[in-house]
Amino acid sequence: STSAAIDEPIINPSIQIDHTQLLINGQFVDAASGKTFPTLDPRTGDVIARVAEGDAEDINRAVAAARKAFDEGPWPKMTAYERSRIMLRFADLLEKHTEEVATLETWDNGKPFEQSAKIEIPMVVRMFRYYAGWADKIHGLTVPADGQHHVQTLHEPYGVAGLIIPWNFPLLLYSWKVAPALACGNTVVLKTAEQTPLSALYVSKLFHEAGLPPGVLNVVSGFGPTAGAALSSHMDVNKLSFTGSTATGKVVLGLAANSNLKPVTLELGGKSPFIVCKDADVDKAVDLAHSALFFNQGQCCCAGSRTLVHESLYDEFVEKAKVRALKRVVGDPFKTGIEQGPQIDKEQFQKILKYIRSGIESGATLESGGEQLGSKGYYIQPTVFSNVQDDMLIAKEEIFGPVQSISKFKDLNEAIQRANASSYGLAAGVFTQNLETANTLTRALRVGTVWINCYDIFDAAVPFGGFKTSGQGREKGIYGLSSYLQIKAVVTPLKNP
Ligand code: ADP
């Protein structure tokens, strides 16, 4: 990776930013306060656009619109088939506009355009089609209770769902929450991350073009402690779903508890082990461990951020991991063939460099990288540490950047014990050719996802979520529906007493 490419003049994408206001009740409107905030280009730190800054008063307006669309219709009163068809029409429109949407996503976030256009937007489209398929297949049970009663259950939407998403996968996480919430018949107030407000506004406009009635989906850009907190503690919001850091997840859960005790789904941080066993194919394991960590500039909650390698392969693995990191293509995310763009913003960039310094100071061996790349924007060299000990900060805390930490283990029991010795429990990678080893690890690891000889497989039907402080509840798949439905028992005497 060379810094020369990064210091070339920046080419701004030739697309106009049309939507920067709040989307409330089907209309783009200014914030009640009239305030705006800048959203920045991670390649340079320059302002892309100024966006309306939503606050408690705007959250009130958005919740009122969502409340009305739920209580008076049309949303939960439409047939599930009609709701499903609107979602499918939206998916078609989104697919048609992939190029523009991927451009906005890359501009605002810094992720490679090819990743946006070829991987993420298609996954978003898929997610809406997946949950559109569920909309008219949600139903309760008849229950054979004791006594002379007919018992049935109704699976009903909560009402107004408050959705709070982070900046690392702005549209993908939009789809993980908005699609199931709407399929189940809820109405939505979405609070996007302050770093990446643009793509959600654009696609939500498309959603209305696809026939979504006003008030069903409201989008409020703004900051966490103001707009996010107002949504979390709102008395008229019936369900909350949050993705972000564990620290903020605790705050949000507290706000929900102390207001109206709305149920909360949380998808939080991680420090996921990637375990390379003694019988692993080293070359494949190196490649997979590399992408498990470096994908999306290392800004993934499930990044394979603790690479544990069996001692018999360790030296070879470290050498090859270093070579692979040195080959990683870093540069302007709008260019073709780029594997890594800039980090999201200055704050994250500085935090990552601080972790790298801490790794060096605590005695880990710096194999590659370790510094800023180029002289503008927030690019960081793909960094590899070997000889990482479990008590080092870089082995314990979520770095959220392109920093791979490799350490050595002697036997499987040690690997299991160390893998589980974390307050997090989001995901794990297991690399082995031995079925028994795979089965042993699968059962022993206290995590929400185990990927065996693969990593980061995010099919719409596969549930995702955390054990321990990595979260509560599950998103995606059939399991994701239960986050947006409440159960009502209906009991009727079979004959009048
Ligand atoms: P990060 O540190 O990666 O930005 P956060 O968990 O702080 O992660 O942010 C994730 C989302 O949570 C963002 O939309 C952010 O605005 C929001 N947020 C931050 N603080 C709060 C808060 N106190 N209440 C509600 N939402 C918040």
Q: Are 246 and 269 spatial neighbours (Cβ–Cβ below 8 Å)?
A: yes
Pocket-forming residues, ligand 1, beta carbon under 6 Å: 164-166, 191, 193-194, 223-225, 228-229, 232, 244-245, 248, 251-252
**CA distances for 181 relative to 58, 155, 395, angstroms:** 21, 13, 36
> Which is the closest atom of ligand 1 to the Cα of 268?
6
Q: Which residues neighbour 227 within 8 Å (Cβ) at sequence distance 6 or greater?
A: 53, 54, 55, 56, 58, 59, 191, 220, 221
Q: Which of 53, 58, 164 to mutate to test the pocket of ligand 1 (most atoms within 8 A of CB)?
A: 164
Residue nearest to atom 19 of ligand 1 (CA): 224
CA distance 27 to 208: 10
Beta strand pairing status for 27-29 and 22-24? antiparallel
- The pLDDT of residue 177: 98
Q: Count CB atoms within 10 A of the CB of residue 293.
A: 30
Atom of ligand 1 nearest to the CA of 166: 10
Strand partners, 407: 308
pLDDT reported for residue 147 = 86
Q: What is the ipTM of this complex?
A: 0.99
**In this predicted model, what pLDDT tens digit does every residue of 276-296 receive, in sequence order?**
999 999 999 999 999 999 999
Q: How confident is the model at residue 497 (pLDDT cuts 50, 70, 90)?
A: low
What is 53-95 written as a DSSP string?
Answer: -B-HHHHHHHHHHHHHHHHS-STTTS-HHHHHHHHHHHHHHHH
For position 3, what pLDDT does the model report?
A: 52
pLDDT of 107 over the 60 cut: yes
What is the rounded distance in angstroms from the CA atom of residue 130 to the CA atom of residue 189?
A: 21
pLDDT of 495: 83
Average pLDDT estimate for 39-46? 96
Decide if 239 contacts 210 (C-beta within 8 A). no
- At residue 275, does pLDDT exceed 80? yes
Active-site residue identified among 267, 339, 367, 398: 267
Rounded Cα gap, residues 205 and 23, in angstroms: 8
Strand pairing class (424-425; 365-368): unpaired
Give the position, in ligand 1's atom list, of the atom nearest the Cα of 165.
Answer: 14
On average, the pLDDT of the chain sits at 96
Per residue in 149-168, pLDDT (tens digit) is 999 999 999 999 999 999 99
pTM of the predicted model over 0.90: yes
Residue 1 above 60 pLDDT? no
pLDDT at 398: 97
- Cβ atoms of residues 58 and 227 within 8 Å: yes
| pLDDT, average across residues 63-90 | 96
d(CA 268, CA 168): 12
Q: Which of 184, 277, 300, 301 is catalytic?
A: 301
When pLDDT is averaged across residues 107-130 and rounded to a whole number, the result is: 98
CA angle centred on 330, ends 326 and 332, rounded to 5°: 165
Biggest CA–CA distance in the chain, Å, is 86
pLDDT of 200 > 50? The answer is yes
Q: Mean per-residue pLDDT for 89-95?
A: 98
Active site residue 371: no
Residue nearest to atom 23 of ligand 1 (CA): 225
Q: Among residues of the chain, what percentage have pLDDT more than 70?
A: 98
pLDDT surpasses 60 at 115: yes
Query: Atom 25 of ligand 1 has which residue's CA nearest to it?
Result: 228
- The mean per-residue pLDDT over the stretch 448-475 comes to 97
pLDDT of amino acid 77: 85
| The ligand 1 atom nearest the CA atom of 249 | 6
From the CA of 224, how far away is ligand 1's center (Å)?
Answer: 5
Confidence category of residue 358, pLDDT binned at 50, 70, 90 = very high
SS3 string of 443-496? HHCCCCEEEECCCCCCCCCCCECCEECCEECCECHHHHHHHHEEEEEEEEECCC
277 is catalytic: no
Question: Could you tell which of 248, 268, 348, 470 is best to mutate to test the pocket of ligand 1, judged by most ligand atoms within 8 Å of the CB?
Answer: 248
What does the pLDDT look like over 479-491, one tens digit per residue?
Answer: 999 999 999 999 9
Given a cut of 90, whether residue 476 has pLDDT beyond it is yes
Whether residue 31 is predicted with pLDDT greater than 70 in this model: the reply is yes
Residues 6+ apart with CB under 8 A from 323: none
**How many Å apart are CA 454 and CA 434, to the nearest integer?**
14
Three-class secondary structure of residue 274 per DSSP: strand
Q: Six-digit token pair at 307? A: 């690479």
